[in-house]
Amino acid sequence: MKKHIIKIIIIFIVFAITSCSEDTIDLEGLGAVKGRVVAVGTNEPLENVKISTNPSSSTVFTDANGEYLIENVPSGDYSLAAQRDGLLAQFEAISIIADRELEIVFEMDIETAGNRPPDAAILDSPTDNSVDQPLEVVLVWTGSDPDDDTLTYTITLRNDENSEVEVFENITDTTYTLTDLSYKVKYFWQVSSNDEINDPVNSSSFAFETMNPPNNRIIYARTIGDNGVIYSADEQGSTEIQLTSETKNSFRPRRHVGTGKIAFLQSVGSQTHLFTMNEDGSQMMQVTSQVSVAGFNLGEIDFSWTENGAKLLFPNQDKLYSINVDGSGLVLVYQTVNGDLISEVDTNDDNNVIVLKTNNLDGYEVEIFTINTSGAVLETILTGVSGAAGSINLSVDGTKLLYNRDVSGFESSDYRQLDSHMFIYDFSDNSSLDISIEKPAGTNDLDGRFSPNEASVIFVNTSNDGISQKNIQTMSIVEIANRADLITNASMADWE
């Protein structure tokens, strides 16, 4: 009986277990996971995102709709990963159940989404509102980034002279040297830090002011490459400053002390025009436009300040014009009666005398004479001589005239001069004094100008071969002696 009862109990248990198994989840078998990958914020589908599991099963990539499907994944717990270059990887813990399809949506952001912007650069040198800075200034700053990203910098430079904004980009160091700054100008500088991930971050803005210009009273031209370049220097011929660019042909500078301006000639296309600038080369402005400066030889052309720096007198072929320094008020002052070309002009505001030098198309048959402001001829200084002559310059009181003349009388198609001397003409007795008596043989004295105190002259001495180097010299005219080199490899000097 006891055995019979035990057998019944076993049968009942087996039956109960069999009945319960019909409602139990089968933990062994295969399932699937599907879903979609989109961009965070915009929900745009992301293609070619790699979807994989860990532990490893299948690996798939999203289609053009950002959708994916991994099938036949054994039941169990996994880490589902979504990965693509340039995007932050995403991970999701999942449980795969047999015969079930799990759906997981990923929202992916760019790889640098968590990157922090650079710190604002700290400007170190020159200190804010510093003064008397040189024309070459080294900017120094400190840059940093909280994520240690590699930084590049951009410098923005402004000034209080004009609206020009200079930008210096892709700087990898924390120092930068500014060059070609102008005298007595206040500059404002700012540094922008860029990590190529976030928006650039600007520093505060600092200011500095450059030094006053030196008292350079001598100006002249020097040939650099194919162009003339204008310089200034002190009365010892040192402290040389370049005033015009080597990319432009600029020559024949004339300084006006009262206005603090320098007028000069510059090539503009096929023409030559008058320009003005400050004594440090800043604020350059073209004066002539409608009528150019023209003559038989641009190297011999000269012009003059007049009316205390308000106007300029200049030649154009056989005509003499006056123009205001702002480019207005163009007036024809004089025209030669015989068609000769006007090559040079000088004037004196105290006695309203204008001196002209004219010549034929070859530069010869020279005449030097004076006219008044109405164009009437007053006095003839030089006429009827052979050879080249010119470089006229009136004394301060207008009683004397400095000029040069080739005493050899030589004339040639290339306008070569063999023995050019400087002379001082005295209007009181119509006499001419040769002051080139100590000139070395085989050389020419050219482009003579009185010194400010008129005790000496500044001029160019060069070999008469026409191709040798030109040197600016000075010489006492009290004793007509002591000629000495002042500036080498230069010409067209002016000393005011």
pLDDT of residue 283: 87
Together in a domain, 265 and 353: yes
**Are 95 and 148 in a shared domain?**
no
Which two three-digit tokens encode residue 52?
Answer: 């994989």
Contact between 108 and 82 under an 8 Å Cβ cutoff? The reply is yes
Do residues 347 and 355 touch, judged by C-beta distance below 8 A?
Answer: yes
Same domain, 128 and 235: no
Residues 45 and 185 placed together within one structural domain of the fold: no
Residues 295 and 381 in one domain: yes
Residues 466, 384, single domain; the answer is: yes
Report which of 308, 305, 284 is spatially closest to residue 182, judged by C-alpha positions. 284
Among 52, 86, 108, give the residue marking a domain's end.
108
Residue 465 lies in a domain: yes
State whether 175 and 237 are in the same domain: no
CA dist., res. 395 & res. 454, Å (int) = 7
Are residues 93 and 130 located together in one domain of the fold?
no
Specify the CATH number for the domain of residue 421: 2.120.10.30
pLDDT of res. 2: 45
Helix/strand/coil for 10: helix
Residue 392 has a pLDDT of 97
The separation between CA 12 and the C-alpha centre of its own chain, rounded to angstroms, equals 103
The answer to whether 104 and 33 have CB atoms below 8 angstroms apart is yes
Cβ pair 312, 305 in contact under 8 A: yes
Closest Cα partner for 448 from 416, 415, 424?
424
Length of the chain: 496
Q: Which of 210, 235, 253 is the last residue of a domain?
A: 210
Backbone angles phi, psi at 184, to 5 degrees: 50, 50
Residues 401 and 468 in one domain: yes
Q: Is 470 within a domain?
A: yes
Same domain, 245 and 285: yes
pTM check: above 0.85: no
- Same domain, yes or no, for 299 and 175? no
Nearest to 354 by CA among 388, 304, 316, 396: 304
- Among 152, 84, 144, 141, which Cα is nearest to 116's? 144
115 domain-assigned: no
Number of domains in the chain: 3
- Helices (H) then strands (E): counts for the chain: 1, 40
> What CATH number is attached to the domain comprising 198?
2.60.40.10
- Can you give the pLDDT at residue 9? 45
Same domain for 300 and 226, yes or no, is yes
Rounded to the nearest 5 percent, the helix, strand and coil shares of the chain are 5, 50, 45
Domain termination site, one of 210, 231, 254 = 210
Residues 403/393, Cβ–Cβ less than 8 Å: yes
* 12 is a domain residue: no
Run means of pLDDT, 10 residues per run, the chain, 496 residues: 46 44 53 95 94 92 96 94 91 94 92 86 97 95 94 97 94 95 93 94 97 90 96 91 94 95 97 95 94 94 95 97 97 95 93 93 96 91 97 94 97 96 96 95 97 95 95 92 92 94
Q: Domain range holding 59?
A: 29-108
**What does each C-alpha distance from 304 to 252, 265, 307, 325 come to in angstroms?**
11, 12, 10, 12
